[in-house]
Amino acid sequence: MSKYLDIPFPKVENPFDGHIHMHRWREEGTGRLFIHGLEEYRQVCGLKYIALASLPSGNPIPVPRDVSNNIMCAFYKLANENTFAYGGFIYPSYPANEDEMRDMSLTIQLDELKEIGFDGIKMLEGKPNLYAKVGKPLDSDFFDSALAKMEEDGTYVLMHAIDPASFWTDANEDNIKRGWYYGDESKYPSYKELYRQVDSLLEKHPKLNLCLAHFFFCSEDPERLENMFAKYPNLCIDITPGGEMYHGFDKRQEYYKDFFVKYADRIIFGTDMDFTPHLESGIWLCDRVYRYLATDETISSFDDRMLKGICLPSDTLQKIFSSNLTGKLGTSPKPINKDALRRYIAKYRHLITDKELDKYIDELSEEYLK
Ligand SMILES: [Zn+2]
């Protein structure tokens, strides 16, 4: 551990990583379940709380994405204290088909996820590759009732919308392999169009308790966020890397020092750590983001370049690393309603594609849902 934080988060009480994923639930070979897989990460980093963002929809890279991610995140919450989780919407087929989804409309799914005890909703539907699969504009009627409901009851929504601008222009091998190259206009919305849709969505739902992930990919154009913060009282952004974001910050150091202090109530820490196999890199990410914001050290960045820390005041750090999110979600995760989880599993388990995982869900049900 010594190569990372000497004293984890020395200036923050009860640090909270608000943006983590679980992609694999068992060790290849041994079959050992990772139902406590993030506890080591949480403890090594000195985190009091973590929040799992379920990703039940999208491209099957690196593992199948289906309803099992919601179910497993609920079990994870049951098995580990201080773990929050955001559920995600599922689609029985792509593009989304309202007729086929009659008994699992987004509002029905929202009620189900909330009844189970999810602490919020993760929406990946604005990431261009999932957007292209679902085939529904973010500001369309398809999402409207669920968004209206969440606006009404204050549900916390962590939304990934857009992606780094370079994903539209840079057809490198890695982007192509991961399905993150969006140069084909016949398949993907433009960068500008996605910004327009999020603006339009917020115009319709101005009080939505929305957190736009990854700084809304506009660290080169933060004035956009300033305008949005002025209009939307509950809007937040998270500073979960994408390393490109930090280079945007670095270009305007003085501006960003003021920005972070001025908008300290609107900024939420997360790493996007995904377990497994990324325990080490999750710890590194945690260390990186903390050092950048809390110290004036020159640190190695997310690529070969260096970054100079901006050394924010303690009260600003406290908000970003903990109290903004506990203010929204509380200081204890919602309890899991076992009956509701059992019903959810019964209703949706036919959509699970990984038969081994399906079997584990039976074992977990035996152990945790009695
Ligand atoms: Zn993420």
Residue-wise pLDDT tens digits, 22-42? 888 887 778 778 899 899 889
Distance 160 CA to ligand 1 centre (A): 7
Whole-number pLDDT of residue 192: 93
| SS3 at position 307 | strand
Residues in a beta bridge with 140:
none
Output the CA 327–ligand 1 centroid distance in Å.
21
58 or 362: which carries more pLDDT confidence? 362
CA atoms within 13 A on the CB side of 176: 7
The angle that helices 191-204 and 222-231 make with each other, rounded to 10 degrees, is 10
Distance CA 86, CA 73 (A): 8
- 3-class SS of residue 129: helix
- Ligand 1 centroid – CA 217 distance (Å): 13
Q: Compute the distance from residue 252 Cα to the ligand 1 centre, in Å.
A: 25
Going by pLDDT thresholds of 50, 70 and 90, the confidence category of residue 2 is very low
CA 126 / ligand 1 centre spacing (Å)? 12
Using the structure block, give the residue that is written with the tokens 């289906």: 66
- Interhelix angle 68-79/355-368, rounded to 10 degrees, is 30
For the chain, the farthest-separated pair of C-alpha atoms sits apart, in whole angstroms, at 56
**Range in 60-64, 83-87, 176-180, 342-346 the model is least confident about:** 60-64
Torsion sign, CA atoms 246, 251, 254, 260: negative
Q: How close is the Cα of 57 to the center of ligand 1, in Å? A: 13
Q: What is the pLDDT of residues 278-321, one digit of tens each?
A: 678 888 889 899 999 999 999 888 777 899 999 999 999 999 99
Calpha distance 239→119 (Å, rounded)? 20
Distances (CA, A) of 369 to 77, 79, 85, 323, 333: 12, 11, 18, 32, 18
Cβ pair 324, 315 in contact under 8 A = no
Pick from 196-210, 217-231, 288-302: least confident: 288-302
> In 3-state terms, what secondary structure has residue 212?
strand
Q: b/e string for 206-241 if b means 16 or more Cβ within 10 A? A: eebbbbbbbbbbbbeebeebeebbeebebbbbbbbb
- pLDDT of the residue at 339: 98
Average pLDDT on 235-256 reads 93
- Measured CA to CA in angstroms, residue 324 lies from 22, 199, 225, 239 at distances of 23, 23, 17, 13
Provide the β-strand partners of residue 52.
20, 85
Cβ neighbour number for residue 28 with a 10 Å cutoff: 9
Report the separation in Å between the CA atom of 335 and the middle of ligand 1, taken as the mean of its atom positions. Answer: 23
In terms of CATH architecture, what is 16-368? Alpha-Beta Barrel (3.20)
Ligand 1 center to residue 182 CA distance, Å? Answer: 18
Q: Are strands 210-212 and 236-238 parallel, antiparallel or unpaired?
A: parallel
Q: Confirm if 46 and 9 have CB atoms less than 8 A apart.
A: yes
Q: How far is the CA of 183 from the centre of ligand 1 (A)?
A: 22
Identify the H or E element spanning 161.
Answer: strand 157-161
Q: Compute the residue count for the chain.
A: 370
Centroid of ligand 1 to alpha carbon of 366 (angstroms): 30
Supply the mean pLDDT for the chain.
92
Residues with Cβ within 8 Å of 43's Cβ and at least 6 positions away in sequence, in order, are: none
C-alpha 161/C-alpha 141 separation (Å) is 17
The Å distance, Cα 370 to ligand 1 centre, comes to: 32
Q: What is the mean pLDDT of residues 179-202?
A: 92
Q: Is the pLDDT of residue 336 over 90?
A: yes
